[in-house]
Chains A and B, each alone.
Chain A
Amino acid sequence: MSAISITGLHKAFGAARAVDGVDLSVAEGEICALLGPSGCGKTTMLRLLAGFEAPDAGTIAVGDRVVAGDGVVVPPEKRGIGMVFQDYALFPHLSVAENVGFGLERGGRSARVDELLDLVGLAGLGDRHPHALSGGQQQRVALARAIASTPSLVLLDEPFSGLDAALRASVRGEVRTILQRAGVTALFVTHDQEEALSLADTVAVMHAGRVEQVGTPEEVYGRPATRWVATFLGEADVLPGDVVDGHVDFELGRLPIDPGFRGAADVLVRPEAVALSLGSGGSGRRVEGRVVQREYFGHDQLVHVELPSGRRIRSRSLSHPVWHEGDRVHVTIDGPVNVFAGEGSP
């Protein structure tokens, strides 16, 4: 059974269509990322789910219960959905324990609060006030508060944006562990693809009020459904090509890919699928290019190569061999590429 099923969801603010026909379902116990650039409607989606906004059309069901749609709008307090706000929205006049216990019945409250503080690693800090905690600790209080009454679903709004980068990676892992231990379904909104890919079981990529693709992190990255998803998620260079007889012809060779159409195509190549070599070797047609720029990252390097046509392509490889500007290199495809109907190259 799905923890969330959304069908045909629409929400407009004046002329702006923030959510424009979204269908989405999230399986129980899963962590789903709603990924998109700012202004794509993902925060509105979250607020529609939480019940702070009412949809113009469409239905939202949590479990088997319709919470919005068919003339029904269940108020937020009756939805049983936990929420972690972007700025945490901790009650400044209440202690950490009182914040965590805010949504709990009186009976057994303190035992449950202790259990939760233990779960999020804040045992013993219950008497502090939120302002006496670090950003990461405040976030864990917000999380504990959201899962306190064992909701079937927890929503997280840009949960890591308030943390510094060094903290982010470790907090991400902690949050995933806490969510899994609590056994709740989680939907989080983010504009950070690394966050979405590393934390989520499922990623829903949103663009201009619509969900462009839903899939595992590997699927949305490796097999983007649309050209927009391919360029938004990760790095990609676009080369013009031609689909003939179940093959794609383009500057870097002929690949046995059948995209299901014929004629002009755009071939999206990720840098890690481009291999560089000095001498002969590699399969297919050999194309010679010239190194124009190199960015060194320690564990790997990104090399910009100008092709005979004057187009540029990037290649990501381990930090060895070391390439220099002006080097003549052979460029071959060594990995999956994605082919979309041609829109003309940029």
Chain B
Amino acid sequence: MVRRGAPPALLAAAGLVAAGAVLPVAYLAWVVLGDLPQWWDTVWSARAFELLLRSVGLAVAVTAATVAISLPISWLTVRTDLPGRGVWSVLCALPLVIPSYIGAYLLVSALGPRGELQGVLEGPLGIDRLPSLYGFWGAWLALTLFCFPYVLLPLQAVLRRMDPSLEEAARGMGRSGWAAYRSVVLPQLLPAVGAGALLVSLYVLSDFGAVSIMRFDSFTRVIYVQYQSSFDRVGAASLATLLVLVTLVILWLEGRSRRGGALHRSAPGSARPPRPVALGVWRWPALGFCALVVGLALALPIGMLALWTTRSISGDVAWASVLGAAGNSLLAAGLAAGVAVVCAVPVALLAARHRGRAPRTIEWGAYLGHALPGIVVALALVFFATRAVPALYQTLLMLVVALVILFLPQAIGAIRTAALQIDPRLEEAARSLGRSPTRAFASVTAPLLRGGAAAGGALVFLTAVKELPATLILSPIGFDTLAIEVWRTTSVGFYERGAVPSLLLLAVSAVPMAILVLRERSFT
């Protein structure tokens, strides 16, 4: 049962979060409306239309591919007797720790026209040139391989908590295993697929690192180049508004797709763990599929990184600055994750439990920041700070605010998924047993949300630690992070020097990743 009215305190808290997240858009609108004719000239042009097609095409292709990879893997690793399913679960989640720009550069250095693969093939086979990896398909491959866990993780979480008796009921009514999956399991997975696909498409639209390395002229790359080369903020902002419009369309589509009801179980008792499906001879193709995905998304880049690292360490590494950068990365991303979870809880609860115009608007607002390229959020904050609150300019707080605005939706998505599975009656039960609303929340809802909050916080940390454009622009002078260090070296072609900071970046990401995966597994 969905409650009729949202509590004012919840609405206020969530509204405040959404208002903060919308600030960059407001800035964007303000800049653009200042010079409407120029905006129109920029937006209504063949070049802008082409940019739009390219970016949207890439987003659609990557999203479709990540869903196509994640649906079978989620089922295989949660519901079947796939050999080593726990290990596959962990391995399939790990590509998330590889920043798209590091992954892209490693892919290029392996599979590119003059990469390592070509070097290996040249000797025995005489192949002196592989097909170019640069452009659309290179960007598609890199983003698909490093983004699919965004869809996979929520799918696995929902599958683990799903009541198996529903599926058994369908089987009992004479449906085959596949028909039962399609008619009972899949509909329950759709909200998670929607949340994951939303994250992926928004990520692709705002990705800057991979498209730059792959030399694919999407919105973000063009905007960045335009901003860097000429400081043409209005031109960059005009293109960014188009991107905002695309995001609004995606959010609208996703919102429509999830107009069902609440999905929490309200049958007696709690869900019991499912019995795994025996794969039989099908386990061989299943293993092959998992191995292919893990090989491309994890083994290949890690192997390349190992290669570059050994070459680098035999040379000269500036350890002091690298370790300092690692500390800075931990600090900024850790703060961003903590703040994001606190901000996400009211929005996620509102979105999970209340319908209506205000909750919907607030959710939209909170999601909006993520759709803006990091550079636009950063520019907005730079202007806001220099004009309105000069004391903020060049502080760590500015960077944290930008990271929270950018990655809040990941925390909201994870916490909302957890909140949807909590029967609202539980809080009422706590209240009838003498707990005030706050204490009922603290003793019942909060512990049940903890898994979702940990997952959300870890996701935010993972993406914040590898975030590039906003970090480049907003880091206080002298506050270098690992991402900046990697970018600085690889962007000028020093792939060897980028290897050690890349490795450290991965190590720093591995800790929350381990928490994330272990937490998920402890539910089984």
Interface residues of A, Cβ cutoff 8 Å to B = 13, 50-52, 75-77, 79-83, 85, 87-93, 102-103, 129-131, 133, 135, 138-139, 145-146, 148-149, 162
Contacts and interface: CB of A to CB of B under 8 A. Distances in A.
B434 A103 contact: yes
Contacts of A85: 425, 428-429
Given A93-B448, A131-B272, A87 B267 contact: yes
Interface in B256-280: 266-272
Contact of B433 (A52, A102, A135, A162): A102
Nearest to B421: A92
Contact of A162 (B268, B270, B425, B431): B268
A52 B269 contact: no
A76 B269 contact: no
Give the residue among B4, B428, B443, B447 with the most A Cβ atoms within 10 A: B428
A50 B432 contact: yes
A145 B433 contact: yes
Contacts of A93: 447-448
6 smallest beta-carbon distances between A and B, as pairs: A103-B433, A131-B270, A89-B425, A76-B431, A83-B432, A92-B270
Nearest to A43: B1
A149 B434 contact: yes
B444 interface: yes
Contact of A76 (B268, B426, B432): B432
A145 B443 CA distance: 16
A144 to B, nearest CB: 12
Given A130-B270, A162-B268, A77 B436 contact: yes
B432 A92 contact: no
Interface string B414-428: 000000000101101
A62 to B, nearest CB: 13
Contacts of B423: 87, 89
A4 B268 CA distance: 29
A276 to B, nearest CB: 44
Interface string B464-508: 000000000000000000000000000000000000000000000
B430 A102 contact: yes
B431 A77 contact: yes
A145 B435 CA distance: 14
Given A131-B269, A135-B269, A75 B436 contact: yes
A151 to B, nearest CB: 9
Given A131-B269, A131-B271, A89 B433 contact: no
B435 A77 contact: yes
Interface string B387-401: 000000000000000
Contacts of A145: 429, 433
A279 B448 CA distance: 73
A90 B433 contact: no
A81 B432 contact: yes
A93 B452 CA distance: 14
Contacts of A90: 269-270, 429
Nearest to A133: B269
B436 to A, nearest CB: 6
Nearest to B3: A52
A138 B269 contact: yes
Contacts of B272: 131
A130 B269 contact: yes
Contacts of A13: 4
B434 to A, nearest CB: 5
Contacts of B268: 87-88, 135, 138-139, 162
Contacts of B436: 75, 77
A110 B116 CA distance: 68
A138 B429 CA distance: 14
29 contacts: A50-B428, A51-B432, A75-B436, A76-B432, A77-B431, A77-B432, A82-B433, A83-B428, A85-B429, A88-B268, A88-B269, A89-B428, A90-B269, A90-B270, A90-B429, A91-B429, A92-B448, A102-B433, A131-B269, A131-B270, A131-B271, A131-B272, A133-B269, A135-B268, A139-B268, A145-B429, A146-B432, A149-B433, A149-B434
A52 B428 contact: yes
B269 A82 contact: no
Contacts of B267: 87, 162
Given A79-B432, A148-B433, 10 more contacts: A50-B428, A50-B432, A75-B436, A81-B432, A83-B429, A91-B429, A131-B269, A138-B268, A139-B268, A145-B429
Contacts of B269: 88, 90, 130-131, 133, 135, 138
A101 B194 CA distance: 40
A75 B271 CA distance: 31
Contacts of A80: 434
Contacts of A75: 431, 436-437
Contacts of A87: 266-268, 423, 425
A30 B143 CA distance: 67
Contacts of B266: 87
Contacts of B429: 83, 85, 89-91, 145
A91 B4 CA distance: 23
B429 to A, nearest CB: 4
Contacts of A81: 432
Contacts of A131: 269-272
Contacts of B270: 90, 92, 129-131
Give the residue among B269, B270, B272, B432 with the most A Cβ atoms within 10 A: B432
Nearest to B447: A93
Give the residue among A76, A93, A146, A162 with the most B Cβ atoms within 10 A: A76
B37 to A, nearest CB: 48
Nearest to B427: A89
Give the residue among B270, B423, B428 with the most A Cβ atoms within 10 A: B270
A344 B486 CA distance: 89
A130 B269 CA distance: 6
B354 to A, nearest CB: 15
B425 A77 contact: no
Contacts of B426: 89, 91
A254 to B, nearest CB: 53
A79 B435 CA distance: 11
A83 B269 CA distance: 16
B335 to A, nearest CB: 29
Nearest to A129: B270
Contacts of A77: 431-436, 440
A162 to B, nearest CB: 4
Given A87-B268, A130-B270, A149-B433, A76 B4 contact: no
A103 B433 CA distance: 5
A108 to B, nearest CB: 16
